[in-house]
Amino acid sequence: MLPNTKPPIWALRFFYWFCHPDLQEELVGDLEENFYYNLEERGHAFANREFYCEVLLLFRPSVIKPLRFPNFFKISPDMLKHYFKVALRNLVRQKSYSLINISGMAIGLAIVMLIALFVRKELSYDTFHEKADSIYRLTHIYSFVHGPWGPTMVADYPEVLDASRVSWTGKLKTRLEDGQTFFENFHLAEPNFFDFFTYSFIEGDKNTALDQPDALVLTESIAIKYFGTTKALGKTVRVRNMAGHDSLLLKVTGVMEDVPENSHVHFDQLASFQLVKTGSWSSLLDDWYQDWVITYLLLDKNADYRALNDKMPAFFERHTGEVGGRVTESLQPLLDIRLHSSHLRRDVEVQGDINHVRIFAATAILILIIACFNFMNLATARAVRRAKEVGIRKVVGALRRQLLWQFLGESFLLTMISVLLALGITKLILPYFQDFLAISIQPLPGDFGWILSSLLGLTVVVSLLAGGYPALILSQFRPMYTLKTKMDGGKNSTLFRKGLVVMQFGISTILIIGTIVVFKQMKYMKNKSLGYDIEQVLFMNYGQGMMEDFDKVKGALEQNPNVLSIANTTDIMGTVAYMWRFRFDGEHEQPHGDNLPQFMVGENFIETLDIEILEGRSFRKGYAPDTAGFILNESMVADAIARFGEKWRNPIGLNLDFLVTRDGEWQVQKSGPVIGVVKNFHFRSLQHAIQPLIIHYQPDWGGRIVLRISPQDIPGTLAFLEEKWQEWGRERPFHYQFLDERFDENYQAEENFSSILFAFCILAVFIACLGLFGLASFTAEQYVKEIGIRKILGASWLDITGIFLRAFLQPVVLAFFLAIPIGYLAMNKWLENFAYRINIDASTFVFAGILAILIALITISYRTLSAAKRNPVEALRYE
Amino acid sequence: MKGTYLAEFQEIVLLTILVLGENAYGVTIQQEIKSRTKRKISRGALHTALTRLNEKGFIRSEMGGAEAVRGGRRKRYYSVTIKGKHALWDTREIREQLWNAIPDFSI
């Protein structure tokens, strides 16, 4: 007798949706009873309203059904516990397999972590400055530029907000109030330096610290070195020979935190740039040609630095009257400095190289791939073992999806263990890795969140990547087949496995080829004749006054019979050959000559270094035409012929002018004939082709003494030198460097690179071998019966071994052939960096191939031989 | 005596259940409280109170009595346990003691 109206449907549906099933009967009953009561008493509208209200008010914790596990997984929390137990049991049961898998993965992951730290460090340079995006550095062949450029940019272009210049004075002698003396680095900066760059001050105010001309800002370490404390405000320091001043008394106006490692420039002390304006260097400030100061520009947020670059030729024409020459002047973003400065000829510090970063990143990915392939291979191979389990699970009602998650979960567990292990390995190896690269890549405290999330991400990605395919395979097994017959995975999975081995060994072989080529190139560079004799040559920085003292110095040194030859010079091999202006016999488009590399040398230089003279002669002391003369190298002569005509085939006697700027004006510093031509020699590292070079007599600009000593009793000779140095009472402490060392410093980056490549190569090969070993073990077990039967039918252990080897070496050999073209192309590209390089010949590839095969053989030999020698009776006993 | 504390509303519900005797279920409790105390309570609030009382062990319940008006669904009948009765009695005692202790109460 119920009325035809029913309670509101949607409210009811909503209620059924959230209400706990056990409560539904009583509550819905009560709700409906009330509804009909209300319907009679107060009418339809009221009843409806009440119903809605009641339903909404029943939306409370005691009524709502408990949260169900997302149905997508079709797994309840209880099953998770079960899967976890099973996964652990499997890990323990198949100990050797788990061990191989985990260690391979852990090593791979450890490498990835190390490289990630390195890459992150390299990419983080200079990012701590707040205004980093708006700061640019002016460059002109060198990272030092001419004085007036910066301030004039501010005047000419509204988008250039400010310019800040920094001058590097090198190490100078300092004396404290209490008499202690030190020899430390100084930089001169303008008051707006701290507006540009973000540093924090421990003492003093960064906004005013550099205002006074006698200001001095110290970094924490230097302050402690000088005074034992950072509370150094007001203390005085006396400096000699800074910026053209003989002696200065500076007052400490600030102490700042040390410059962090990830900065493109490191300084210990900052003095005021004002000093340049008041000392004998002041003429440099208006000189548009001499490059000596580092200049930074602050650009407006919307400015485009490339547009500014395009305006530079016009800009220089406006200010210097020179037309069209200046294409090397450009702005460089602050954040690019660290990794993209290899085109600059001289930098305030040695910077990194983007190519290295890229190569390392690529290597990391490659190694990760190898490790994942390992996992995949071993997992699919072992899949056979779990076939029965899969079959039974499916019979009992497991869905394919559930099995998928089970196996993915297992791979996740394995990966997590590997990650933790990898963390441990990384922690252990980090100190050695850092020494290798000569950098520090400790994670910063703020990194913790990033590290955690990226580790998690890594675990998930790797477990999916590595475990995905095996999980798919496993979950696919049909119960009928698994329970009836013994599965072997069939043709397809074997093919897949072989494919994986090919990839692993392919990558490893490429790395081997790479390492060999790099080794050969380094060896070639080190041993190549440089065009002069670099053995047992050393040099010392004498400093000011060398010209006057040279006779005395020479006389003193010659007394030692182990000192074979003495020379003085400004420039020397392995350092930058600065470019100055030269006019060739008056014929030039540019009024002030061309910018060309040159070496300023002194007495005896060519002889001491044994440079071969092709035409003419070397400089003779005291012979005026000689000291005003010029010597050219072969490249320069060829260049001159091309540009100025055939007469330069016989350059001896033709005239050259050497120009410099004095007080902003061009002057001919020296004019004279070409007196000799020398054979080309490498004055820069072998990465660069031999450029044209002009050599002339000017030892007083640099004050270096060069010595060739005999190989006997080198320590004795060095002691003798030090003794003499003290006698001469020089300001700077005794310091010398062997020329070959200095030259090799140019190869530092390549050395590091080669060492690391070697290390990675070994690791990649190791991981691939782990995989191969696991596979070999597994196959040996699988085919126990087949081997047994073969042996009974008459096969010898040699035959069996043959079968195995053929099966396993096939992929390795295939990998080798695939690796050849890739390796060749890649290494060719790398070798393009060097003007003097080896040719990659067949011997490299043959060697790499033999090595790869040998390694593979050794890896599988143990398992193969033991399988082949097994007693067939034992093999067939168990069924 | 923690856990045996009897909140005010819960006390009312208990008393109402005793009043209703055999016929105490959701709808009747609601209506009885409404008519006697003029408080209109929602089924949800009542459900919470009943749940708390059940957790404390003051009431028990059982299913029974399906009816057409409820679409054939059964009702859940509630009754007060001995523990519940003790709790009621204690509460009453405390109230009376306090009332008696007032020296001079005049409205």
**pLDDT for res A865:** 79
C-alpha distance from B83 to closest chain A C-alpha (Å) = 23
Residue of B nearest to A24 (CA): B73
Report the distance separating Cα A513 and Cα A820, nearest Å.
8
Q: Does A26 touch chain B (CB under 8 A)?
A: yes
Window from A142-146, A449-453, A673-677 with minimum mean pLDDT: A449-453
CB of A328 closer than 8 Å to CB of A337: no
CB of A125 closer than 8 Å to CB of A264: yes
**pLDDT for res A416:** 87
Strands (E), A288-400: 294-299, 329-333
CB of A416 closer than 8 Å to CB of A730: no
* Residue of A6, A25, A27 to mutate, interface with B, max B Cβ within 10 Å: A25
Residue A680 burial by Cβ neighbours in a 10 Å radius (0-12, 13-18, 19+): buried
What is the torsional sign of CA A740, A743, A746, A750? Answer: negative
Under the banding of pLDDT at 50, 70 and 90, the label for residue B96 is very high
- Distance, C-alpha A858 to centroid of its chain: 34
For chain A, give the percent of residues with pLDDT over 70: 93
Among A residues 35-54, those touching chain B with beta carbons less than 8 Å apart: 36-37, 53-54
C-alpha distance from A23 to closest chain B C-alpha (Å) = 10
Q: Which residues have a Cβ under 8 Å from the Cβ of B101 and sit 6 or more positions away?
A: none
**CB B25 to CB A31 under 8 A?**
no
What is the torsional sign of CA A400, A401, A403, A408? Answer: positive
C-alpha distance from B104 to closest chain A C-alpha (Å) = 44
**CB A2 to CB B69 under 8 A?**
yes
**CB B73 to CB A53 under 8 A?**
no
**pLDDT for res A492:** 65
> For residue A490, is pLDDT > 70?
no
- Using alpha carbons, select from B40, B33, B35 the residue that is nearest to residue B10: B33
Window from A21-30, A74-83, A591-600, A806-815 with minimum mean pLDDT: A74-83
Report the distance separating Cα A675 and Cα A625, nearest Å.
9
Under the banding of pLDDT at 50, 70 and 90, the label for residue A587 is low
**pLDDT for res A30:** 92
Q: Does A639 touch chain B (CB under 8 A)?
A: no
What is the torsional sign of CA A481, A484, A489, A492? Answer: negative
CB of A720 closer than 8 Å to CB of A618: no
The DSSP annotation for A234-280 comes to: T-EEEEEEETTEEEEEEEEEEEEPPPPSS-S---SEEEETHHHHHST
Q: Look at B82 and A173; give whichever has higher pLDDT.
A: B82
> What is the ipTM for the molecules in this complex?
0.88
Q: Which residues have a Cβ under 8 Å from the Cβ of A685 and sit 6 or more positions away?
A: A525, A574, A743, A746, A747
The CA R_g of chain A, rounded to the nearest whole Å, is 39
Under the banding of pLDDT at 50, 70 and 90, the label for residue A791 is confident
B contacts of A1 (beta carbons < 8 Å): 68
> For residue A872, is pLDDT > 80?
no
A contacts of B67 (beta carbons < 8 Å): 33
**pLDDT for res A845:** 87
Window from A62-71, A125-134, A239-248, B84-93 with minimum mean pLDDT: A62-71
**pLDDT for res A1:** 47
**CB B47 to CB A62 under 8 A?**
yes
CB of A600 closer than 8 Å to CB of A634: no
Picking from B25, B26, B44, the nearest residue to A60 by CB comes out as B44
Report the distance separating Cα A324 and Cα A442, nearest Å.
48
How many contacts, defined by CB atoms under 8 Å, are there between A and B? Answer: 68
**CB A33 to CB B42 under 8 A?**
no
Residue A760 burial by Cβ neighbours in a 10 Å radius (0-12, 13-18, 19+): buried
- In the numeric block, the tokens 């003051």 are attached to B58
C-alpha distance from B75 to closest chain A C-alpha (Å) = 5
- In the numeric block, the tokens 């001499």 are attached to A290
Residue of B nearest to A29 (CA): B70
Kindly report, residue by residue over A699-710, the tens digit of the pLDDT.
777 778 888 888
**pLDDT for res A70:** 58
Cα angle B81, B85, B90 (rounded to 5 degrees) comes to: 145
Kindly report, residue by residue over A63-92, the tens digit of the pLDDT.
887 766 555 556 676 777 788 888 888 888
> For residue A439, is pLDDT > 70?
no
For chain A, give the percent of residues with pLDDT over 90: 6
B interface with A, Cβ–Cβ < 8 A, is: 25-27, 30, 42-45, 47-48, 51, 63, 67-71, 73-76
**pLDDT for res A327:** 64
- Distance, C-alpha A859 to centroid of its chain: 33
The alpha helices in A43-140, defined as continuous H runs, are 44-57, 77-93, 95-123
Report the distance separating Cα A69 and Cα A798, nearest Å.
58
C-alpha distance from B18 to closest chain A C-alpha (Å) = 20
- Using alpha carbons, select from B76, B75, B43 the residue that is nearest to residue A58: B43
> Quick one: average pLDDT of A842-847?
86
Amino acid code (one letter) for A354: I
Cα angle A843, A847, A853 (rounded to 5 degrees) comes to: 145
**pLDDT for res B1:** 44
**pLDDT for res A823:** 86
Q: Work out the end-to-end distance of chain A between its first and last CA atoms, rounded to an integer number of angstroms.
A: 75
Under the banding of pLDDT at 50, 70 and 90, the label for residue B25 is very high
Residue A612 DSSP code: P
Report the distance separating Cα A425 and Cα A414, nearest Å.
16
**pLDDT for res A591:** 67
Report the distance separating Cα A568 and Cα A547, nearest Å.
9
**pLDDT for res A450:** 72
* Residue of A23, A55, A57, A59 to mutate, interface with B, max B Cβ within 10 Å: A57
Q: Look at A583 and B47; give whichever has higher pLDDT.
A: B47
Q: Look at A344 and B1; give whichever has higher pLDDT.
A: A344
* Residue of A32, A33, A46 to mutate, interface with B, max B Cβ within 10 Å: A33
**CB B47 to CB A59 under 8 A?**
no
The CA R_g of chain B, rounded to the nearest whole Å, is 16
Q: Look at A799 and B83; give whichever has higher pLDDT.
A: B83
Window from A138-142, A625-629, A824-828 with minimum mean pLDDT: A625-629
Report the distance separating Cα A275 and Cα A284, nearest Å.
12
CB of A802 closer than 8 Å to CB of A865: no
The tokens describing A501, both together, are: 């081995």
Kindly report, residue by residue over A335-380, the tens digit of the pLDDT.
888 888 877 777 777 777 787 788 888 888 888 888 888 888 887 7
**CB B69 to CB A36 under 8 A?**
yes
C-alpha distance from B44 to closest chain A C-alpha (Å) = 4
**pLDDT for res A737:** 86
B contacts of A33 (beta carbons < 8 Å): 27, 67, 69-70
Residue of A nearest to B77 (CA): A26
The alpha helices in A438-489, defined as continuous H runs, are 448-476, 479-484
Question: Quick one: CA torsion of A465, A471, A473, A475, rounded to 10 degrees?
Answer: -150
Question: Quick one: CA torsion of A808, A809, A813, A815, rounded to 10 degrees?
Answer: 30
- The three-class DSSP label of residue A648 is helix
Under the banding of pLDDT at 50, 70 and 90, the label for residue B76 is very high
C-alpha distance from A33 to closest chain B C-alpha (Å) = 5
**What backbone phi and psi angles, to 5 degrees, belong to A518?**
-60, -45
> Quick one: average pLDDT of A324-333?
74
Residue A256 CB neighbour total at 10 angstroms? 23
- The three-class DSSP label of residue A704 is strand
C-alpha distance from A30 to closest chain B C-alpha (Å) = 6
Residue of A nearest to B27 (CA): A30
Residue A10 burial by Cβ neighbours in a 10 Å radius (0-12, 13-18, 19+): exposed
C-alpha distance from B41 to closest chain A C-alpha (Å) = 10
Q: Which residues have a Cβ under 8 Å from the Cβ of A494 and sit 6 or more positions away?
A: none
* Residue of B46, B70, B75, B78 to mutate, interface with A, max A Cβ within 10 Å: B70
Q: Does A63 touch chain B (CB under 8 A)?
A: yes
**CB A30 to CB B26 under 8 A?**
yes
> Quick one: average pLDDT of A257-271?
88
Question: Quick one: CA torsion of A722, A728, A729, A730, rounded to 10 degrees?
Answer: -80
What H or E segment, with its residue span, contains residue A738?
A: strand A736-738
Kindly report, residue by residue over A632-668, the tens digit of the pLDDT.
888 888 888 888 888 888 888 888 888 887 766 778 8
Window from A405-409, A730-734, A758-762, A770-774 with minimum mean pLDDT: A730-734
Q: Does A3 touch chain B (CB under 8 A)?
A: no
> For residue B55, is pLDDT > 50?
yes
C-alpha distance from B17 to closest chain A C-alpha (Å) = 16
- Measured CA distances, A794 to A802, A868, B81 (Å): 14, 13, 88
CB of A305 closer than 8 Å to CB of A157: no
pTM over 0.90: no
Residue of A nearest to B61 (CA): A26
A contacts of B70 (beta carbons < 8 Å): 28-30, 32-33
Picking from B48, B68, B75, the nearest residue to A26 by CB comes out as B75
A contacts of B47 (beta carbons < 8 Å): 23, 27, 58, 60, 62-63
CB of A138 closer than 8 Å to CB of A152: no
C-alpha distance from B86 to closest chain A C-alpha (Å) = 26
- As a whole number, the mean pLDDT across chain A is 83
CB of B5 closer than 8 Å to CB of B53: no
